[in-house]
Amino acid sequence: MSRRSELVSAAVETLPITVAVISDEGEILLTNRSWREFGPDDDPDDHVGVDYIAAATTDDDEHARRAVDGLERVIAGERETFAMEYPCHSPQEKRWFLMRANRFTVDGEVRASVIHLDITDRKLAELAAEESAEQLRAERRTLERVLERVDGLVRDVTDAVGAGTRDEIERRVCGHLVDVEPYEFAWIGRVDVTGGRIAPSEWGGRIDATVEDDLLLAPDGSHPAVRALETSEPQIVQGLERTASGGDRDWSTCVGADEAVRSMAALPLIHGEVTHGVVVVFATEPDAFEDREVLVLESLAGTIGTAVNAIETRRMLTSEAVVELEVAIEDPSLIVTTLARELEATVSYRGQTYDGDGTPLLYLYVGRTDGVADAAARVDGVTAVTVLSEREDGTLLELTLTDGLVTRLADHGAVIRRLDTDENVVDLTLEMPNSQSARSAFNLLDDRLNRVELISYQEIERPSRTPRDLAARLESTLTDRQLLALRKAYVSDYFEWPRAVSGEELAESMGITRSTFHQHLRSAQAKLLDELFDGDRVVGRQTE
């Protein structure tokens, strides 16, 4: 054997691919080490002398038939080369190979080289890429389906929230929701605070169904609508199955539906920190509420909550009825409790306002005169303290706050009618525009404070001498500085005689001159009298 032949033989022997050389009759003439090692450990035969074509021929293997046909064409001279990919899986793993056959001659005799290259890594990468591409295509189809479903729904619901009453909003929203496939049934529930229930107020659908009975706001929050209210988050239930008995968890029956629904979504109707109710939507598809669709429905629920809040606010301004909530609070972290405990004195709420930057200012009357300002300055959440007036029996303080419970209550539409405390217990009376706001305010207190006890809850007629519409108009005409000057003067008993505080002291607390303070105060008083007696008579009055 020549040196060249030795080099070729050694190179073929060490190639990391299986190689065999066969004759024109299909007999194996030569194999390399990779070929021999590919077989079972107990059969290291090099297969020299075996009829490769006969061994590979089988009727029930399509890949084998293709390989034999291609190899025979190469040997016959019909083609110079043949290649194909084929699977060769074992019980332990999936494998793929590339077979390639090439024709050549040696001393005039036809030969063919057959190699098998392991392409498993490449094939797995291709399959993963194809799976990712299919996933993207599926997500695109899902997104297109979502857009098709909600096309027009957003506009319709937005139009519905322009209705004049809450009942009309709820009726139109339910109607628009069930006009969109695959939604089949929808209902909206309001919170009954006194009964601790969700009371369905409006419903509708394309299937014959009746709405849920009143749902208890149970601690376990078993119903999705209850959980949505308790968590302020959408609650989605997919893949529902109708139970034979219609048991406690059989949401699919929709309570009396002739056709079982397969999925449901419960979304809270929220504006700010106030929850006005819940909307529940049912569908006959088991996976109707995928993530993108939930985002759209969540946005619609927010729009409905905002519209309901606007209607309730408007009703509050025109109605005499309000909700009065009285609670007793035990929590040493409250500003009023901290002051009462440290000073061993009673503390009463006198009012709240905001400075020009929107910083909350709290007015408290402390039944003590010595050390009051220093004690207040040490309380967490208080950034500045101003003594507005001192009397024999106590001190009127203005506290600048970073934030606080009083501010949070105001966000819920609460008006503080009474807030008194000793060293342990705060007696708080709130006036709320409706039952939803009352429940939301009570939950705020209950979540943030150690112990909150509900003393009373009742709907009352607002005294006719409380002209909320007049107050709203007045505040809209006053500048921030005028309103601040007027409130400071009022809570400081500046209008009493003898005066407990001078105009110069109030001006100093605002960081302005005495003359500027009196200018703001006179302008505010003039606007107050104009609104009270004959606001249309005022023309061209200065606003600063």
What is the mean predicted confidence (pLDDT) over 279-292? 83
What integer pLDDT is reported at residue 525 of this predicted model?
85
* Alpha carbons within 13 A on the beta-carbon side of 349: 23
For the chain, residues classed under CATH 1.10.10 are 467-544
Adjacent-strand bridge partners of 187: 203, 280
Residue 248, pLDDT > 50, answer no
Q: Are 474 and 456 in contact (CB under 8 A)?
A: no
Residue 109, pLDDT > 70, answer yes
**Other residues' Cβ atoms within 10 Å of the Cβ of residue 10:** 10
Residue 182, pLDDT > 70, answer yes
Confidence of residue 82 (pLDDT cuts 50, 70, 90): very high
Least confident among 104-108, 247-251, 357-361: 247-251
Top-confidence residue, 459 or 503: 503
What is the mean predicted confidence (pLDDT) over 303-320? 73
Reference 260, options 278, 285, 237; nearest CA is 285
What integer pLDDT is reported at residue 167 of this predicted model?
85
Q: Using the CB atoms, write b or e for 525-536: b if 16+ within 10 Å.
A: eebbebbeeeee
Least confident among 1-5, 11-15, 363-367: 1-5
Structure tokens at 46: 């090099």
Top-confidence residue, 343 or 415: 343
Span 152-318 CATH architecture: 2-Layer Sandwich (3.30)
Residue 151, pLDDT > 60, answer no
- For residues 499, 505, 506 and 507, what is the CA-based torsion angle, rounded to 10 degrees? 140
- Which residue carries 């290649």 as its tokens? 83
Least confident among 69-83, 213-227, 259-273, 303-317: 213-227
What is the mean predicted confidence (pLDDT) over 342-371? 86
Confidence of residue 539 (pLDDT cuts 50, 70, 90): very low
What is the mean predicted confidence (pLDDT) over 287-316? 79
pTM of the model: 0.46
Residue 255, pLDDT > 80, answer no
Residues 290 and 361: their CA atoms lie apart, in Å, by 46
The dihedral of CA 291, 292, 296, 302: what is its sign?
A: positive
What integer pLDDT is reported at residue 267 of this predicted model?
92
Strands lying side by side in the sheet with 382-390: 382-390, 395-401, 360-366, 347-354, 415-421, 426-432, 321-330, 451-461
What integer pLDDT is reported at residue 160 of this predicted model?
61
Across the chain, what does the average pLDDT equal? 78
Confidence of residue 7 (pLDDT cuts 50, 70, 90): confident
Least confident among 44-58, 95-109, 378-392: 44-58
Q: Are 52 and 27 in contact (CB under 8 A)?
A: yes
For the chain, residues classed under CATH 3.30.450.20 are 3-118
Span 467-544 CATH architecture: Orthogonal Bundle (1.10)
For the chain, residues classed under CATH 3.30.450.40 are 152-318
Top-confidence residue, 190 or 251: 190
Least confident among 152-161, 223-232, 326-335, 367-376: 152-161
Residues 239 and 262: their CA atoms lie apart, in Å, by 5
Residue 474, pLDDT > 60, answer yes
What is the mean predicted confidence (pLDDT) over 488-501? 84
Adjacent-strand bridge partners of 458: 324
Phi and psi at 472, nearest 5°, equal -65, -45
CATH code for the domain defined by 3-118 = 3.30.450.20
